[in-house]
Chain A
Amino acid sequence: MLLREVGYARPATVEEALSLLAGNDGARALAGGQTLLNVMKQRAASPEVLVDLGKLAELRLVGVQGMTLDIGAMVTLSALMRSSEVEVSRPILAEVAATVADVQVRNRGTLGGNICVNDPTNHFPPLLVALDATMTILSEDGERTVSVEDFFVGVFETAVREGELLTRVSVPAGGGGDGMSGVTLGAHGTYIANAAASVDDGRWRIALGCVAAVPVRATLVESRLSGVDVDEADVRAAVEGLGETLDPPSDVHASADYRRSLTETSVVRAVLQAAERASG
């Protein structure tokens, strides 16, 4: 399909990218383009200028600094799957990357793009909430860091403002045990419901996707599980009543009630997976 006419720049440095974003009305970052180019075809987005981040090698770095795993915003999902740093320090990120869409989309789609889109069905927003990630955002005025909970603002909306770039996602290296589970359309399709869970020293973080505009923390379940050595019966008991506290959408794939039920089941599975890994 023919796109609307659009300007294009391919900066060689992050500084150039920021000045292009700040200096051009309607400028927008182009990462892997897997979402952006498709919504431009539908005219759902009409940027005036695309600032292609493709040549910014410093945004493609993955590294461990002390107790923190830093992942550049332009790291593709395929690169996450192959990264030895990710495998050693937080393998759930690679596992989840491997279940997003298909090989071709993973070869171009980036971690930064996945979360900047903040589609409520996307895989990484709830996972990064469970992992207690921190996002680094850069503008011409300098750098700021945002906690994962402040990062997701609404559907397709994040804390990244006009003229800014997400440069890096950081998660604690190591951790106790992580899990993610859900129900998808087809083997590696879009999520209908999901939950991500992470436990460290008896302290839980559990996040739900697909039920609201932004990932939802299941704080009640977290506190019920806190400090206990969980078995399946405990987890089922802790999850009881969670669905009633949620207000998920109804659509062609699932009614709100069915989504409540799928979400509870997803939490049980994600928690058991995390608990098993924490003990193993």
Chain B
Amino acid sequence: MSVNEPITSAVVTVTVNGTESEHEVPVRRLLVHFLRDDLDLTGTHIGCDTGSCGACTVHLDGVAVKSCAVLAVQADGATVMTVEGLAGEELTPLQRSFHEHHGLQCGYCTPGMLMSASALLAENPSPSEDEVKVALQGNICRCTGYWNIVEAVVAVGKGEAA
């Protein structure tokens, strides 16, 4: 829907993890704050808040984006998936693989890692190690636990996750 005159707040309709919701938000609200504060989906983390660390990565209309560098109003009419939307009754093979390969230490970067990795796997179901590294370039693990994270994603592609 177009907005022909400048506004400072708007009613946005966003489908998040399969559920459509309608909220009035100030224009200046970032998507990450909308998810965390308006929808109470606190799985999406705020790391650097400068578009560098990737902790806030979500899928916007199917592609990985940093939700600290998108306004909530820009997501009007869009479909968003957050880390809460990955698992159904059970964890996904990717999530189980992170568990098995010890692909997390403090866990702060994990939601963003999972969202970048799941976007990769949707496009490329069995990525090479190098492809995984490129796909995760926008995600920083401050514990520097990259090896196990990369192994966890490669293992899913090889069908090794339990």
Which of these binds chain B: A50-58, A60-68, A141-149, A192-200? Answer: A50-58
Judge whether A7 and B6 touch: CB under 8 Å. yes
Known contacts: A6-B28, A38-B51, A101-B138. The answer to whether A78 contacts B6 by CB under 8 A is no
How far does the alpha carbon of A4 sit from the alpha carbon of B27 in the complex, in Å? 10
Report A-chain residues with C-beta under 8 Å of the C-beta of B21: none
**Does A236 belong to the interface (CB within 8 Å)?**
no
Report A-chain residues with C-beta under 8 Å of the C-beta of B6: 7-9, 20, 24, 27, 49
A48: nearest chain-B partner, CB-CB? B6
How far does the alpha carbon of A105 sit from the alpha carbon of B64 in the complex, in Å? 9
Counting contact residues on chain A (CB < 8 A from B), the size range is: 35 or more
- Nearest-Cβ distance from residue B139 to partner chain A, whole angstroms: 8
Report A-chain residues with C-beta under 8 Å of the C-beta of B138: 101-105
Report B-chain residues with C-beta under 8 Å of the C-beta of A8: 3, 6-8, 10, 27, 71, 73
| B66: contacting residue among A4, A49, A104, A188, CB under 8 A | A104
Judge whether B2 and A188 touch: CB under 8 Å. no
**Does B119 belong to the interface (CB within 8 Å)?**
yes
Judge whether A104 and B74 touch: CB under 8 Å. no
How far does the alpha carbon of A55 sit from the alpha carbon of B50 in the complex, in Å? 25
Binary contact readout B50-65 vs A (1 if CB under 8 angstroms, 0 otherwise)? 1100100100000111
**Does A255 belong to the interface (CB within 8 Å)?**
no
The A/B interface has a contact count, at CB < 8 Å, of 107
How far does the alpha carbon of A7 sit from the alpha carbon of B8 in the complex, in Å? 5
How far does the alpha carbon of A50 sit from the alpha carbon of B66 in the complex, in Å? 19
A4: nearest chain-B partner, CB-CB? B28
Report A-chain residues with C-beta under 8 Å of the C-beta of B63: 78, 107
Interface on chain A toward B: helix, strand, loop, or mixed SS? mixed
- In chain A between 10 and 66, which residues have their CB closer than 8 angstroms to a CB of chain B? 10-12, 16, 20, 24, 27, 30, 33-34, 37-38, 41, 49-50, 52, 54-55
Interface on chain B toward A: helix, strand, loop, or mixed SS? mixed
* Residue with the greatest number of chain B CB neighbours at <10 A, chosen from A4, A10, A101: A10
| A187: contacting residue among B30, B50, B137, CB under 8 A | B137
How far does the alpha carbon of A52 sit from the alpha carbon of B2 in the complex, in Å? 10
Judge whether B27 and A102 touch: CB under 8 Å. no
Judge whether B69 and A38 touch: CB under 8 Å. yes
Judge whether B3 and A104 touch: CB under 8 Å. no
How far does the alpha carbon of A33 sit from the alpha carbon of B50 in the complex, in Å? 12
A42: nearest chain-B partner, CB-CB? B50
- Nearest-Cβ distance from residue A235 to partner chain B, whole angstroms: 30
Report B-chain residues with C-beta under 8 Å of the C-beta of A38: 50-51, 69
- Nearest-Cβ distance from residue B51 to partner chain A, whole angstroms: 5
Known contacts: A8-B3, A8-B71. The answer to whether A104 contacts B8 by CB under 8 A is no
How far does the alpha carbon of A9 sit from the alpha carbon of B1 in the complex, in Å? 11
Report A-chain residues with C-beta under 8 Å of the C-beta of B116: 103-104
Q: Which residues of B contact A (CB under 8 A)?
A: 1-8, 10, 26-28, 30, 49-51, 54, 57, 63-66, 69-71, 73-74, 76, 116, 119-120, 134-135, 137-139
**Given A8-B6, A50-B71, A105-B51, 6 further pairs, Cβ under 8 A:** A11-B3, A27-B6, A38-B50, A103-B135, A105-B66, A107-B63
Across the A-B interface, the 8 shortest Cβ-Cβ residue pairs? A102-B138, A7-B6, A12-B2, A3-B28, A8-B27, A102-B137, A10-B3, A49-B6
Q: Which residues of A contact B (CB under 8 A)?
A: 1-12, 16, 20, 24, 27, 30, 33-34, 37-38, 41, 49-50, 52, 54-55, 78, 101-105, 107-108, 187-188
The 22 listed contacts between A and B (C-beta, < 8 Å) are A3-B28, A5-B28, A6-B27, A8-B7, A8-B8, A8-B71, A9-B3, A9-B7, A33-B71, A37-B71, A38-B50, A38-B69, A52-B73, A102-B138, A103-B119, A103-B134, A104-B54, A104-B138, A105-B51, A105-B69, A107-B64, A188-B137
